[in-house]
Amino acid sequence: MLEEVEDYAILFLDREGNIENWNKGAEHIKGYLATEIIGKNFTVFYSAADQKKGLPQKLMSAALERGKAKHEGWRIKKDGSRFWGSVTVTAVHDSAGRHVGFSKVTRDLTEKLEQEESIRDYSRQLEQKNKELEQFVYIASHDLQEPLLTVTNFINLFKEEYGDKLDENALIYLKYINQSSERMKDLIRGLLDYARLGRKVEQLKVVDCKLVMDNVASDLLASIQKHQAILKYGQLPTIVGDQTQIRQLFQNLVSNALKFARDNVVPEIGISAVETEEGWMFSIKDNGIGMEPRYLEKIFIIFQRLNTRADFEGNGIGLAQCKKIVELHRGKIWVESVPGNGSTFWFTLNKIKDEKI
């Protein structure tokens, strides 16, 4: 049965490490026929450097002392090429307890090693590209503010010095230029805030979500009163995370619910959380305008808007920020919605045990 196994090289060595049997797996992995290798010492599978360090002998000594020894490293085939082998050497004793040799099982993990290295290389490249992209967005957003500030200042100077000489059309043109400048300023500020998320590794802290919501409700009091909204939330859990980002997450979602309220309908916003095996699952439910199913993924993409600015203000950054914050906390966010009957935003904040995010 052992001779027919092809995925593992299974050998029996005598007490000096000489090979006494050879299965199909050994032939497949190492390239030797049984007639070519039986009787030779298993050190032939090790590089000159490993032989010089006495690695084969150390494995036998460790197996004899502890019963079993494991090792991963490069091994040599008959043709001189290398493969990454996972080796287990076990001391073998007879019925009287006398040491008679060793069993040696080898598995070729070269393909697995190459895949892992490929994934690590890709991850390093992706991390570098993300850093470069974040740096580009940060620098570009910062540098764009200077000429925009100059435009805004000159618009104001122009109006002050020549306002009485301009006709109605000219004043309207200036108004549109100023409004576009302000929108551009808001877009740059939002892009800059989005780029800053996750740039600095913060120490995780205990965050009381109930206290966070109390603060958010206080900050949004004017907007809540303006819409005559009903904001309901009971006891919310204490989690581990970045308090500033968690506060921004709740504030963006509650502001979003207030913004997309239906006409002549009192906005009702309910916030709750349930504990799951993975962590805490939060929901923020409203009775607003809702949205069609085909838009449920699109809304989390930066600068994506479902409505015109004439109907609803905003730049399409808030929900993208929410998604990034949740993902930085190793959670996920999604939405369920019925057109004309409100939306429920769900997100998870996992029980993080690491000290940093």
CATH number of the domain where residue 331 is located: 3.30.565.10
Same-domain status, 205 and 85: no
Same-domain status, 219 and 128: no
pLDDT at 141 over 70: no
> Which CATH number goes with the domain that contains 69?
3.30.450.20
The tokens of 29 are what?
Answer: 């992995």
Same-domain status, 217 and 304: yes
Q: What is the pLDDT of residue 306?
A: 54
Same-domain status, 65 and 137: no
The stretch 42-49 carries a mean pLDDT of 92
Domain end call among 63, 91, 108 = 108
Same-domain status, 216 and 255: yes
The stretch 298-318 carries a mean pLDDT of 61
Same-domain status, 218 and 192: no
Domain end call among 196, 228, 247 = 196
pLDDT band at 305 (very low <50, low <70, confident <90, very high): low
Domain end call among 93, 108, 123 = 108
- 30: domain range? 2-108
Q: What is the pLDDT of residues 196-206, one digit of tens each?
A: 676 554 567 88
Cα separation, 214 vs 199, whole angstroms? 27
CA distances from 107 to 56, 88, 115 (A): 16, 9, 16
Same-domain status, 116 and 88: no
Cα separation, 250 vs 256, whole angstroms? 10
> Which CATH number goes with the domain that contains 154?
1.10.287
Same-domain status, 40 and 131: no
Q: What is the pLDDT of residue 353?
A: 54
Same-domain status, 151 and 255: no
pLDDT at 357 over 50: no
Q: Is the dihedral of CA 12, 30, 17, 54 positive or negative?
A: negative
Is the pTM higher than 0.95? The answer reads: no
DSSP string, 227-266: HT-EEEE----EEEE-HHHHHHHHHHHHHHHHHTPPTTS-
Q: What is the pLDDT of residues 316-350, one digit of tens each?
A: 678 888 998 898 888 999 999 888 888 999 999 87
Q: What is the pLDDT of residue 330?
A: 86
Same-domain status, 208 and 356: yes
Same-domain status, 8 and 145: no
C-alpha of 85 from chain center: 32
Q: What is the pLDDT of residue 354?
A: 47
Rounded to the nearest 10 degrees, how much is the dihedral formed by the CA atoms of 66, 42, 58, 111?
-80
What total of structural domains would you count in the chain? 3
Same-domain status, 220 and 348: yes
